[in-house]
Structure 1
Amino acid sequence: MEFKFLERWQPQLLAALRIVAALLFLEHGTSKIMGFPQDAMMDGLPMFSLFWIAGIIEIVGGLLLLIGLFTRPVAFLLSGEMAIAYFMEHAPIDFFPLRNQGDGPILFCFVFLYLAAAGPGAFSLDAGRRS
């Protein structure tokens, strides 16, 4: 069965992937820096600690991806952040992502890597800058 009918929606669906991934990612940053949504593991992070810096990157990167500004370089940077997060925090716990809670970082890593290659899709400031 062919899904040719979906091809015309490709730019909008790519934008939906970018926007949803950005909102989910932004939530991790705001949890670390602003305490919302509250996550007891992230309470009281020392300023300039590794997790605090990751939170800043997640907020700034998440906002830039949300609006589709500098999408390719930002997505590439965030993909790298997620690869580092996985290998520093999750992989040492267990080999299997199911047991080390690493599914999220792996998915974010590859979604962001895809966005770095594919671009922002529709509804982005990058598209407006190209015009």
Structure 2
Amino acid sequence: MNRFADPVYCVVRLIVGLAYACHGGQKLFGYPGGGHGMSGLAFIAGIIELVCGFLIAFGLFTRIAAFLASGEMAVAYFMFYVGTVPTLEAKFFPIMNGGELALVNCWIFFFIIFNGPGRWSIDALWRKDRSNTPPT
């Protein structure tokens, strides 16, 4: 079962990263699905989502990108989901305030911070190149 861990982690990182980048593309360019022309916090969120999504997907500067993405999702969850509902019950249960996607993304990116890029990533290729280069 462990022989599948690296490729499966790569696929998960790729899917989650590209899905996250799609949210950024939607905010910034209106594709896929509209939302073009946002400003303020939505514009900043769009940049974070687009850039960090691609970085996470391909495993480049993975931990830094995951840290920024996790933080952005935590802010989004508390500002726009917990902060906008009137009842204490709705604040506590993500299914009631609509923030389950932000919460799940936050924790997936938090996991990626500590798990790192994995073997199948650009970061891993760079590490390998540096370790094979003789000191000058």
Aligned counterpart in structure 1 of residue 17 of structure 2, from 7, 22, 36: 22
Contact kept, 8 Å, 2:48 with 2:68, in 1: the verdict is no
Question: Which of 30, 35, 46 is residue 35 of structure 1 equivalent to?
Answer: 30
Shift of 1:56: 0.5
Q: Which runs of 4+ in 1 moved over 4 A?
A: none
TM-superposed deviation, 1:123: 2.4
Instruction: Return the match for 2:67 from 68, 76, 96.
Output: 76
Tell me how many residue pairs correspond in the alignment: 122
- Give, in whole Å, the separation in 2 of the partners of 1:127 and 1:43: 35
Rounded to whole Å, the distance in 1 between the matches of 2:120 and 2:2 is 17
Which of 44, 48, 58 aligns to 1:53? It is: 44
- Identify the residue that residue 8 of structure 2 maps to in structure 1: 13
Contact 1:72 1:115 in 2 (8 A): yes
Identify the match of residue 129 of structure 1 among 121, 126, 129.
Answer: 126
Query: With structure 1 as the length reference, what TM-score do the two structures score?
Result: 0.88
Amino acid at match of 1:77: L
Amino acid at match of 1:35: G
Structure with the bigger RCO (C-alpha within 8 Å, sep 6+) is 1
CA RMSD of aligned residues (A): 1.2
Cα deviations across residues 10-33 of structure 1 (Å, max 9, x unaligned)? 111111111111011011101000
Residue ranges of structure 1 left out of the alignment (5+ in a row): 1-5
Is there any run of 5+ residues in structure 2 with no aligned partner, and where?
Answer: 129-136
Once the two structures are superposed, residues 35-57 of structure 1 have per-residue CA deviations (whole angstroms, 9 ceiling, x without a partner) of 01124xx34313xx001110011
